Amino acid sequence: MRKIAKFISEFVFLLAFKNIKRMNLHEYQGKEILNSFGVRIQRGIVASTAAEAVDAAKKLTEETGTGWHVIKAQVHAGGRGKGGGVKLAKNLDEVKSISDDILGMMLITPQTSAEGKLVNQVLVAEDVYYPGDEEPDEYYMSVLLNRATGKNMIMYSTEGGMDIETVAEETPHLIFTEEIDPLLGLMPFQARKVAFNLGLSGIAFKEMTKFVTALYTAYIKSDSSMFEINPVLKTSDSKIMAVDAKVSLDENALFRHKDYAAMRDLREENPIEVEAKAAGLNYVDLDGNVGCMVNGAGLAMGTMDLIKESGGEPANFLDVGGTADAQRVETAFGIILKDPAVKAILVNIFGGIVRCDRVAQGVVDAYKNMGDKITVPIICRLQGTNATEAKELIDNSGMKIISATEFQEAADKVAEVLIA
């Protein structure tokens, strides 16, 4: 059980560290994908204004017969209900007033920053917790890759509607996992095992096996990196459906899914990261005070360790790639300096393919072009081909660029400028 809790905590960390190339979707978009593969969902219509929400509610009532409606804020963050982003409307007047309140609000949840996220859309959904012969019941289910074994895995629990991290920490015995052989795919007995472990029987048992099979098919065929359905609902008449859907797509596979790629909502992404991506830079925003510009992901990780050793915190992950001309370096500096928390920039380049003197010239030219826009010290460490010439070029440039040769020397200089 400790292994399960450890796996969940590690997976949550990996999701939080945004270097994983994935594209997140809104709930309504994730449900569209699920529904296209035969997964039963809580039906809903997305709206951008209160008037649209009322029209959506009327249409839902005509199509489903629902009398009540659930108004859900559409942002890329979990825990929306805790922040007041999910509310029940019992009539059209409440649909309008609740939608008015949620649209345009800065929604703060356990998964957002302190500032929260701006709500641009709401999902008007049918009420599926209707009375019947049985009490509705909620479950948790996700499909993801178990990195330790290299196999896809269905993780599920009887404790639906709760944070799975809390369940893993407090009651890990209530979490089950089912690994799928990549050659065989999900076998029928595995789907039945999931339904059995959730304590289902009769119609609900059969419905759950269909749900699990369709869910796994959707995960594979959509090239997703994660499906998380919390809760999966057993209705009062034994139907099994996805009430919520958190879907992350593998960004490397989007060339196969142009329709999914069109679902990207740039309003939900870090604007600095969006700009960096458009410029061809691999950039991840972090909470720190030292900006770093490197070439190569391995060196970037080492540089981040170096910054921490020097008493600072990395403000970003930025891989400038194999070319570092003046324009590219200038773009990188500009992106790094958009973070007001940055107190220094460490340039750490290994000149294997690219010559160090060319990188140094790019740094000097970029510094000249930017002029007063550069307001923090820049420490530049270049090693590899023509490293000596590169250091001389920087030292003789007349620019306020601090050169370094060794790793530890660069760390010491970072420490000096942070203290100053």
Query: Smallest Cα–Cα separation from 418: which of 273, 306, 310?
Result: 310
Active site residues: 140, 228
What's the token pair of residue 402?
A: 């601090």
CA angle (97, 102, 107) in 5-degree steps? 160
What's the token pair of residue 53?
A: 């929400």
Q: Using the structure block, give the residue that is written with the tokens 């600072």.
A: 312
CA atoms within 13 A on the CB side of 349: 32
Angle between helices 50-64 and 92-102 (to 10 degrees): 140
| Rounded (10°) CA dihedral 125, 126, 129, 134 | -140
List, in sequence order, the alpha helices (H) in 18-163. 27-36, 50-64, 92-102
Measure the CA–CA gap between 96 and 79, rounded to whole angstroms.
23
Q: Determine the length of the chain.
A: 420
> SS3 of 239, please?
coil
Cα of first residue to Cα of last residue in the chain, in angstroms, is 49
Query: Smallest Cα–Cα separation from 43: which of 23, 22, 64, 12?
Result: 64
